[in-house]
Amino acid sequence: MNHNTPLSPRPLRHLAKVHRRVLTAAQLRAHGVSAAERDEQCRPGGPWQQILPGVFLLHPGPPTSEERLHAVLMYATRGPLPQTAPGVPTQPTAQEPHRPVYAEVMITGLAALTLHGFASAPALLSLEKIDILVPRMRRLRSTGCARIVRTAALPTPEPVTGLPVAPVPRVLADAVAELADAGVVRRLLTEAVRGGHCEPAAVVKELTQARLLSRPHVVDAVDSLLAEGRAIAENRLYRMVREYGLPDPVWNVDLRLPGGPHLGGLDAYWPEQAVAVELDTRAPRQGHRQDDDALWSEYTRKREHLERLGITVVHITPKKLRDAMEQQATVVRTALMAAVDRDPAAYVVVLPR
């Protein structure tokens, strides 16, 4: 028996019942289709067609968007994988000859943004290429509608309509890498934050690792992204105080010692309890490591100075506000209640920021 010998010959008409009419050569073999029969079906004007190397479409018309997505995943998954998860078969079996098994590959780029529900992403059928994220050592080349994107470390995929899709921050970086239109880049980054898909810091981290912050139109979009993220975080902080029944603070203030130095700005402050909330909306920027370290040192110095004056500082990140608002409200409420057991704080002047 050689690799062209079918496992169990069956009439080709049974393939009309296959739910998704896109199969690999190995899956066709598992269905009992020899290489010769397959090639005959794919002759010019025939009922089948080869959509990608080793991947076949079992009808003559153009593929649907779903068929294209599965086709590129099948193409990227063919052959042995470097680190297949235990118990996950890399080849179809006779019992499940058309079961899709997508280990260590995932959709990324613009197609993935569409799957994640981005309104500003293009329709799947309008995309000439579909980006597929694979480990760096995989021996694959871009061809047809499949564009291979390599990475040293694969992220954990998120299942979307049964397909493995890269997380939004990574997807954005891969999409932006192929985009030169500043308006499109800005819309995608803004929607990522405004739509609640992810936090700005996660996006900036991926853009930094992809070395994209040397492009002026990307830097401009990131500046807008950070401003958008800051405004959204502030609105969440207002909502947290309102929805969880916290006493009203004074908002966006500067503190000073009477006749003395400026102590720093705060997002919310409860003067009677001497409790402050500060939002951490920093994001790492390529080439700005020293600036980032200096900013964090300033955060730390301000917090330590305020706490020496008897002011409790609650440090909150936008991600915590988004994912665990009730927990953050409890932290603030606990700090407010504990004020009665603390020594009185030093007198400070509160000014609008």
- Please give the chain's pLDDT, 353 residues, in tens: 444 444 344 445 555 545 468 899 988 988 888 999 999 999 998 999 999 999 999 999 899 999 999 999 999 987 444 433 333 334 444 444 444 568 889 999 999 999 999 999 999 999 999 999 999 988 899 999 999 999 999 999 999 988 999 999 999 999 999 999 999 999 999 999 888 898 898 999 999 999 999 899 999 999 888 888 889 899 999 999 999 999 999 999 999 999 878 888 999 999 999 999 999 877 655 445 545 556 567 778 888 889 999 999 999 988 899 889 999 999 999 999 998 888 888 889 999 88
Per the structure block, which two tokens stand in for 323? 């994912």
How buried is 44 (Cβ within 10 angstroms: 0-12 exposed, 13-18 middle, 19+ buried)? exposed
Q: What is the pLDDT of residues 191-248, one digit of tens each?
A: 998 888 988 989 999 999 999 998 999 999 998 888 888 898 999 999 999 999 999 9
Per the CB < 8 A criterion, the answer to whether 145 and 207 are in contact is no
CA 299, CA 134: separation in Å to the nearest integer?
39
pLDDT of 103: 83
Spacing of C-alpha 193 from chain mean position? 11
pLDDT of 172: 97
How buried is 210 (Cβ within 10 angstroms: 0-12 exposed, 13-18 middle, 19+ buried)? middle
Q: For the sheet containing 163-165, what is the strand order?
A: 146-151, 130-135, 106-108, 163-165, 158-160
Strands 275-279 and 262-270: antiparallel
Residue in 188, 190, 201 with CA at minimum distance from that of residue 110: 188
Residue ranges of domains in the chain, CATH in brackets: 247-352 (3.40.960)
Per the CB < 8 A criterion, the answer to whether 312 and 334 are in contact is no
pLDDT of 196: 87
pLDDT of 174: 97
Q: What is the pLDDT of residues 337-353, one digit of tens each?
A: 998 888 888 889 999 88
